[in-house]
Structure 1
Amino acid sequence: MNQTVHFSDLNLLDWLEKQTNEQLEDAPFGVVRMSRDGIVVAYCKSESHITGISKEYAVGKYYFTQIAPCANNQMVAAKYAQPTLDEELDYILTYVSEPTKVRLRLLKSPESRYQYFLVNRKA
Protein backbone atom coordinates (compact mmCIF):
# COMPACT_ATOMS: atom_id res chain seq x y z
CA MET A 1 0.00 0.00 0.00
CA ASN A 2 1.55 3.29 -1.09
CA GLN A 3 -0.02 5.52 1.55
CA THR A 4 -1.69 5.30 4.89
CA VAL A 5 -5.43 5.31 4.53
CA HIS A 6 -7.90 5.78 7.35
CA PHE A 7 -11.40 4.36 7.78
CA SER A 8 -13.06 7.79 8.08
CA ASP A 9 -11.09 9.63 5.36
CA LEU A 10 -13.35 11.94 3.39
CA ASN A 11 -11.80 10.81 0.09
CA LEU A 12 -11.77 7.09 0.88
CA LEU A 13 -14.10 6.15 -1.97
CA ASP A 14 -11.77 7.81 -4.51
CA TRP A 15 -8.80 5.96 -3.00
CA LEU A 16 -10.63 2.61 -3.04
CA GLU A 17 -11.61 3.04 -6.68
CA LYS A 18 -7.93 3.51 -7.66
CA GLN A 19 -6.74 0.32 -5.94
CA THR A 20 -6.49 -3.08 -7.59
CA ASN A 21 -8.06 -6.03 -5.79
CA GLU A 22 -4.53 -7.08 -4.78
CA GLN A 23 -3.70 -3.64 -3.37
CA LEU A 24 -6.84 -3.74 -1.23
CA GLU A 25 -5.44 -6.81 0.57
CA ASP A 26 -3.23 -4.52 2.66
CA ALA A 27 -6.00 -2.18 3.83
CA PRO A 28 -5.90 -1.70 7.64
CA PHE A 29 -9.63 -2.54 7.87
CA GLY A 30 -11.99 -5.01 6.22
CA VAL A 31 -12.89 -4.22 2.63
CA VAL A 32 -15.59 -5.89 0.56
CA ARG A 33 -15.65 -4.60 -3.02
CA MET A 34 -18.93 -5.42 -4.72
CA SER A 35 -20.23 -4.96 -8.22
CA ARG A 36 -23.07 -2.47 -8.52
CA ASP A 37 -25.50 -5.40 -8.16
CA GLY A 38 -23.95 -6.75 -4.93
CA ILE A 39 -21.69 -9.53 -6.21
CA VAL A 40 -18.40 -9.79 -4.28
CA VAL A 41 -15.44 -8.84 -6.49
CA ALA A 42 -12.79 -8.56 -3.74
CA TYR A 43 -12.87 -9.81 -0.15
CA CYS A 44 -9.75 -8.70 1.66
CA LYS A 45 -7.72 -10.54 4.27
CA SER A 46 -8.66 -8.09 7.04
CA GLU A 47 -12.32 -8.88 6.33
CA SER A 48 -11.59 -12.62 6.34
CA HIS A 49 -9.85 -12.24 9.68
CA ILE A 50 -12.89 -10.47 11.19
CA THR A 51 -15.55 -12.80 9.76
CA GLY A 52 -13.80 -16.13 9.32
CA ILE A 53 -15.00 -16.28 5.68
CA SER A 54 -12.30 -16.89 3.08
CA LYS A 55 -11.79 -14.78 -0.01
CA GLU A 56 -12.05 -17.92 -2.14
CA TYR A 57 -15.50 -18.64 -0.73
CA ALA A 58 -16.79 -15.05 -0.91
CA VAL A 59 -15.77 -13.91 -4.39
CA GLY A 60 -18.53 -14.33 -6.96
CA LYS A 61 -21.36 -14.60 -4.43
CA TYR A 62 -24.16 -12.14 -3.67
CA TYR A 63 -22.96 -10.42 -0.51
CA PHE A 64 -26.17 -9.80 1.41
CA THR A 65 -27.67 -13.28 1.13
CA GLN A 66 -24.75 -15.65 0.58
CA ILE A 67 -21.98 -14.02 2.66
CA ALA A 68 -23.54 -11.66 5.20
CA PRO A 69 -27.24 -12.32 5.66
CA CYS A 70 -26.92 -10.60 9.06
CA ALA A 71 -26.55 -7.33 7.10
CA ASN A 72 -29.47 -8.01 4.74
CA ASN A 73 -31.80 -5.48 6.37
CA GLN A 74 -33.04 -1.88 6.26
CA MET A 75 -30.11 -0.69 8.38
CA VAL A 76 -27.46 -1.87 5.91
CA ALA A 77 -28.33 -3.61 2.61
CA ALA A 78 -31.33 -1.43 1.76
CA LYS A 79 -29.14 1.68 1.86
CA TYR A 80 -27.26 0.53 -1.25
CA ALA A 81 -30.38 1.41 -3.28
CA GLN A 82 -29.42 5.07 -2.85
CA PRO A 83 -27.36 6.54 -5.72
CA THR A 84 -24.87 8.09 -3.30
CA LEU A 85 -23.93 6.45 -0.02
CA ASP A 86 -21.32 7.39 2.57
CA GLU A 87 -22.45 6.35 6.00
CA GLU A 88 -20.76 5.05 9.13
CA LEU A 89 -22.62 3.09 11.78
CA ASP A 90 -21.97 0.85 14.75
CA TYR A 91 -23.03 -2.73 14.12
CA ILE A 92 -22.71 -6.27 15.44
CA LEU A 93 -21.78 -8.96 12.90
CA THR A 94 -23.40 -12.26 13.83
CA TYR A 95 -23.38 -14.58 10.84
CA VAL A 96 -20.57 -17.15 11.07
CA SER A 97 -18.53 -15.59 13.82
CA GLU A 98 -19.11 -14.87 17.47
CA PRO A 99 -21.08 -11.61 17.73
CA THR A 100 -18.46 -9.01 16.85
CA LYS A 101 -18.81 -5.27 17.51
CA VAL A 102 -17.69 -3.30 14.47
CA ARG A 103 -17.91 0.09 12.82
CA LEU A 104 -19.27 -0.16 9.28
CA ARG A 105 -18.78 2.29 6.46
CA LEU A 106 -21.04 1.97 3.42
CA LEU A 107 -19.73 3.68 0.29
CA LYS A 108 -20.78 4.23 -3.30
CA SER A 109 -21.43 7.07 -5.71
CA PRO A 110 -23.06 7.37 -9.14
CA GLU A 111 -19.54 7.64 -10.61
CA SER A 112 -17.93 4.73 -8.74
CA ARG A 113 -17.38 1.44 -10.55
CA TYR A 114 -18.02 -0.52 -7.36
CA GLN A 115 -19.79 -0.25 -4.04
CA TYR A 116 -18.02 -0.95 -0.77
CA PHE A 117 -18.78 -2.50 2.61
CA LEU A 118 -16.00 -1.62 5.04
CA VAL A 119 -15.52 -3.07 8.52
CA ASN A 120 -13.40 -1.75 11.36
CA ARG A 121 -13.27 -3.93 14.49
CA LYS A 122 -14.15 -2.03 17.65
CA ALA A 123 -12.10 -2.37 20.82
Structure 2
Amino acid sequence: MNQTVLFSDANLLDWLEKQTNEQLDEAPFGVVRMTREGVVVAYCKSESHITGIDQGYALGKYYFTQIAPCANNMMIAAKYAQPTLDEELNYILTYVCEPIKVRLRLLKSEQSRYQYFLVNRKHYS
Protein backbone atom coordinates (compact mmCIF):
# COMPACT_ATOMS: atom_id res chain seq x y z
CA MET A 1 0.00 0.00 0.00
CA ASN A 2 1.24 3.45 -0.83
CA GLN A 3 1.18 5.31 2.50
CA THR A 4 1.36 8.65 0.70
CA VAL A 5 -2.21 8.42 -0.62
CA LEU A 6 -3.95 11.66 0.25
CA PHE A 7 -7.63 12.31 0.91
CA SER A 8 -7.73 15.25 -1.51
CA ASP A 9 -5.53 13.71 -4.22
CA ALA A 10 -6.87 14.45 -7.70
CA ASN A 11 -6.18 10.82 -8.74
CA LEU A 12 -7.70 9.18 -5.66
CA LEU A 13 -10.57 7.54 -7.55
CA ASP A 14 -8.13 5.77 -9.89
CA TRP A 15 -6.10 4.60 -6.88
CA LEU A 16 -9.21 3.33 -5.04
CA GLU A 17 -10.39 1.38 -8.08
CA LYS A 18 -7.06 -0.52 -8.17
CA GLN A 19 -7.16 -1.59 -4.51
CA THR A 20 -8.62 -4.86 -3.26
CA ASN A 21 -11.18 -4.68 -0.47
CA GLU A 22 -8.45 -5.88 1.92
CA GLN A 23 -6.02 -3.18 0.77
CA LEU A 24 -8.63 -0.52 1.50
CA ASP A 25 -8.35 -1.49 5.19
CA GLU A 26 -4.94 0.19 5.20
CA ALA A 27 -6.19 3.57 3.94
CA PRO A 28 -5.44 6.44 6.34
CA PHE A 29 -9.10 7.56 6.19
CA GLY A 30 -12.49 5.87 6.16
CA VAL A 31 -13.52 4.21 2.91
CA VAL A 32 -16.90 2.79 1.97
CA ARG A 33 -16.89 1.07 -1.41
CA MET A 34 -20.37 0.64 -2.85
CA THR A 35 -21.87 -0.85 -5.97
CA ARG A 36 -23.40 1.66 -8.36
CA GLU A 37 -26.72 0.86 -6.62
CA GLY A 38 -25.36 1.77 -3.17
CA VAL A 39 -24.77 -1.70 -1.69
CA VAL A 40 -21.68 -1.88 0.55
CA VAL A 41 -18.98 -4.22 -0.78
CA ALA A 42 -16.12 -2.92 1.40
CA TYR A 43 -16.26 -1.06 4.72
CA CYS A 44 -12.69 -0.40 5.78
CA LYS A 45 -11.29 -0.59 9.30
CA SER A 46 -10.84 3.18 9.58
CA GLU A 47 -14.50 3.72 8.71
CA SER A 48 -15.54 1.12 11.26
CA HIS A 49 -13.39 2.83 13.90
CA ILE A 50 -14.87 6.27 13.14
CA THR A 51 -18.52 5.16 13.12
CA GLY A 52 -18.53 2.20 15.49
CA ILE A 53 -20.27 0.07 12.86
CA ASP A 54 -18.80 -3.42 12.45
CA GLN A 55 -17.38 -4.23 9.03
CA GLY A 56 -19.22 -7.54 8.80
CA TYR A 57 -22.52 -5.89 9.64
CA ALA A 58 -22.13 -3.26 6.89
CA LEU A 59 -21.33 -5.64 4.03
CA GLY A 60 -24.20 -6.35 1.67
CA LYS A 61 -26.44 -3.61 3.04
CA TYR A 62 -27.71 -0.51 1.27
CA TYR A 63 -25.50 2.25 2.62
CA PHE A 64 -27.87 5.20 2.75
CA THR A 65 -30.84 3.45 4.38
CA GLN A 66 -29.41 0.55 6.36
CA ILE A 67 -26.00 1.83 7.46
CA ALA A 68 -25.93 5.65 7.30
CA PRO A 69 -29.45 7.08 7.21
CA CYS A 70 -27.94 10.38 8.46
CA ALA A 71 -26.41 10.73 4.97
CA ASN A 72 -29.63 9.89 3.12
CA ASN A 73 -30.35 13.46 2.09
CA MET A 74 -29.88 16.01 -0.70
CA MET A 75 -26.39 16.96 0.53
CA ILE A 76 -25.02 13.42 0.23
CA ALA A 77 -27.05 10.48 -1.13
CA ALA A 78 -28.89 12.41 -3.85
CA LYS A 79 -25.56 13.50 -5.38
CA TYR A 80 -24.72 9.89 -6.28
CA ALA A 81 -27.40 10.07 -9.00
CA GLN A 82 -24.94 12.15 -11.02
CA PRO A 83 -22.82 10.15 -13.51
CA THR A 84 -19.63 11.79 -12.23
CA LEU A 85 -19.04 12.97 -8.68
CA ASP A 86 -16.00 14.36 -6.90
CA GLU A 87 -16.95 16.62 -4.04
CA GLU A 88 -15.52 17.40 -0.62
CA LEU A 89 -17.58 18.88 2.19
CA ASN A 90 -17.64 19.26 5.93
CA TYR A 91 -20.28 17.15 7.65
CA ILE A 92 -21.35 15.90 11.05
CA LEU A 93 -21.91 12.15 11.22
CA THR A 94 -24.62 10.98 13.57
CA TYR A 95 -24.66 7.24 12.87
CA VAL A 96 -24.90 5.23 16.08
CA CYS A 97 -22.38 7.41 17.85
CA GLU A 98 -21.97 10.87 19.27
CA PRO A 99 -21.95 13.51 16.50
CA ILE A 100 -18.53 13.51 14.83
CA LYS A 101 -17.19 16.38 12.71
CA VAL A 102 -15.62 15.01 9.53
CA ARG A 103 -14.55 15.93 6.03
CA LEU A 104 -16.34 13.84 3.41
CA ARG A 105 -15.35 13.09 -0.14
CA LEU A 106 -17.91 11.67 -2.53
CA LEU A 107 -16.38 9.95 -5.56
CA LYS A 108 -17.46 8.15 -8.69
CA SER A 109 -17.11 8.46 -12.44
CA GLU A 110 -18.88 7.07 -15.46
CA GLN A 111 -15.97 4.64 -15.89
CA SER A 112 -15.52 3.59 -12.25
CA ARG A 113 -16.74 0.17 -11.23
CA TYR A 114 -17.72 1.44 -7.76
CA GLN A 115 -18.74 4.61 -6.00
CA TYR A 116 -17.04 5.77 -2.81
CA PHE A 117 -17.93 7.54 0.43
CA LEU A 118 -14.73 8.70 2.16
CA VAL A 119 -14.42 10.05 5.69
CA ASN A 120 -11.55 12.00 7.20
CA ARG A 121 -11.72 13.08 10.86
CA LYS A 122 -8.49 15.06 10.67
CA HIS A 123 -9.37 17.65 8.05
CA TYR A 124 -12.65 19.19 9.16
CA SER A 125 -12.28 22.95 8.68
CA distance in 1, matches of 2:2, 2:102: 26
Runs of 4+ with deviation above 6 angstroms? none
Shift of residue 2, structure 1, vs aligned partner:
3.3
Secondary structure of 2:116's match? strand
Match of 2:110 in 1: 110
Amino acid in the other structure paired with 1:67:
I
SS at 2:4's partner residue? coil
Aligned to 2:49: 49
In 1, Cα distance between the equivalents of 2:2 and 2:73? 35
| CA distance in structure 1 between the aligned counterparts of 2:119 and 2:95, rounded to whole angstroms | 14
Hey, what does 2:21 align to over in structure 1? 21
Partner of 1:90: 90
CA distance in 2 between partners of 1:95 and 1:8 (Å): 24
Q: Separation in 1 of the partners of 2:16 and 2:104? A: 15
Is the partner of 1:92 in helix, strand or coil?
strand
CA distance in 2, matches of 1:3, 1:31: 15
* Aligned residue pair count: 123
CA distance in 1, matches of 2:97, 2:87: 24
CA drift of 1:3 comes to 4.3
Give the structure-1-normalised TM-score. Answer: 0.98
TM-score by length of 2: 0.96
Q: Name structure 1 gaps, 5 residues minimum.
A: none
Q: Which residue of 2 aligns with 1:119?
A: 119
Shift of 1:4: 1.6
